[in-house]
Amino acid sequence: MNKFWIILSHTYITRLKTKSFYISTAIILLFIIGMANFQSIIDTLSGDDKNKIAILDESGELFAPLQAGIASNSDDMELVLVDESEDDVKELVKEGTYKALVVTEINDEQLPEATYYSNNITETGIQTNLEQQLQQLKIAIATQAAGVDQDTITEIYEPVTFQKVALDESAKTNEELSQARGIVYIMLFILYMAVLMYGTMIATDVATEKSSRVMEILVSSASPVTHMFAKISGIALLGLTQISLFVVVGYTVVQSKKDELTGGIFDYFGIQDTAPSVYIYGIVFFLLGYLLYATLAAMLGSLVSRVEDVQQLITPMTLLVVAAFLLAMFGLSMPESTIVTVTSFIPFFTPMLMFLRVGMLDVPFWEVAISIGLLIATITLLALIGARVYKGGVLMYGRSSSLKDMKKAIELTKKE
């Protein structure tokens, strides 16, 4: 047992001191802080200057209602009525005095028309806003000409009342689903990144030791099985250190900005008032998911003796993780779909998909118990097979580019 802790601490400390750990941690922390201050950064970079749009109103009737509509719907646009010639204003647009020129007029049907001039037409936001306001003006003018009361038109265009009521008393409300969706999305993303990052790290670590022949010394002083699980535990401890740092910094930043982080995506992915059971299940499925894929990564890493071959051999594992994540993203909007329900019992998909169902739905405990039981059984089976493959794999040298090398590794174990 003493050898296990020596290998574990060596793996943890060695990885903790690497430049890649500091760089990746710093980048992700900056990303977290940047996302929390996204709106402030945009406001700072954009400044207080509004996009000045020159309006050449040949009708003499459209500027006032258009300006009123833009003022009530856009904070970054300012309409300026100009009386210069069209060519002169176009030159001012080219020089940057105005963002664009809009020439408005009334056609033969007495309806508004407009032509938009700008140095480029890639900024569709400004164009769409202007087009929408002109469309509303067209509707107002057309309905007035047809003798239809404007209040009647307004009532017709109001959104239909559509209430959603769940008959099942245990079903979550719309607000509860939004709250659950937020924490589920965050934990799914953390699990996805952790499996890819730390799984690859384990496989690379084993391959690096083999390529430097350090493995021969290690297996002579400790059993390959002890070495494998010490390696997995050491990387897991490193991952928990890094993730804990992300959670603490993220929570601190969000708490300090909670009054500003409202509306839009923060309403959709609200994480307040989430049930404690969701966090408990999140931790359980995170740890089991990590153990499952970490054991698989260590086994695959033991088959290669060159770091260059690691990515090729762990590609099947990566594809499994990506497939599970994509199914989970689909399940965020359709958690009760058959494909999500069925795949939540498949061990390689269970950590993400069963957790998704637990967070979004009222899943019977026996379903969760069965999925966890299958997951633990798969981890145990994979650990037994992985231990044998690892034991023989660490003694295999030469180019390995196929999963067929597992059979060769197991045969080497039998010969011992």
3-state SS string for 13-78: HHHHCCHHHHHHHHHHHHHHHHHHCHHHHHHHHHCCCCEEEEEEECCCCCHHHHHHHHHHHCCCEE
Please tell me the predicted confidence (pLDDT) of residue 281.
Answer: 85
Please tell me the predicted confidence (pLDDT) of residue 377.
Answer: 93
- In tens, the pLDDT along 119-133 reads 877 777 788 888 888
Cα(413)–Cα(259) distance, integer angstroms = 61
Quick check: helix, strand or coil at residue 108? coil
Position 404 pLDDT exceeds 70? no
Per DSSP, 349 falls in state T
Lowest average pLDDT, out of 188-197, 317-326, 400-409, goes to 400-409
Q: Which residue has the higher pLDDT, 152 or 249?
A: 249
Please tell me the predicted confidence (pLDDT) of residue 265.
Answer: 46
> Amino acid identity of 130?
L
Enter the tokens of residue 324: 């599970």
Average pLDDT, the chain: 76
Lowest average pLDDT, out of 83-87, 386-390, 392-396, goes to 392-396
Does an H or E element contain 81, and which? strand 77-81
Average pLDDT of the segment spanning 343-356: 90
Position 372 pLDDT exceeds 90? yes
Enter the tokens of residue 232: 């997995």
Report residue 369's pLDDT band, with 50, 70 and 90 as the boundaries. Answer: very high
Phi-psi region of 263 (alpha: psi -120 to 50; beta: other; left: phi over 0): left
Cα(233)–Cα(260) distance, integer angstroms = 40
The pTM of the full predicted model, rounded to 2 decimals, is 0.65
* Domain 49-157: CATH architecture, name and number where available: 3-Layer(aba) Sandwich (3.40)
Average pLDDT of the segment spanning 269-277: 59
- In tens, the pLDDT along 127-159 reads 888 888 888 888 777 777 777 776 776 777 677
**Share of residues in the chain with pLDDT > 70 (%):** 74
Q: Which residue has the higher pLDDT, 376 or 416?
A: 376
Domains of the chain, by residue range, sit at 49-157, 171-415
Per DSSP, 161 falls in state P
Position 268 pLDDT exceeds 50? no
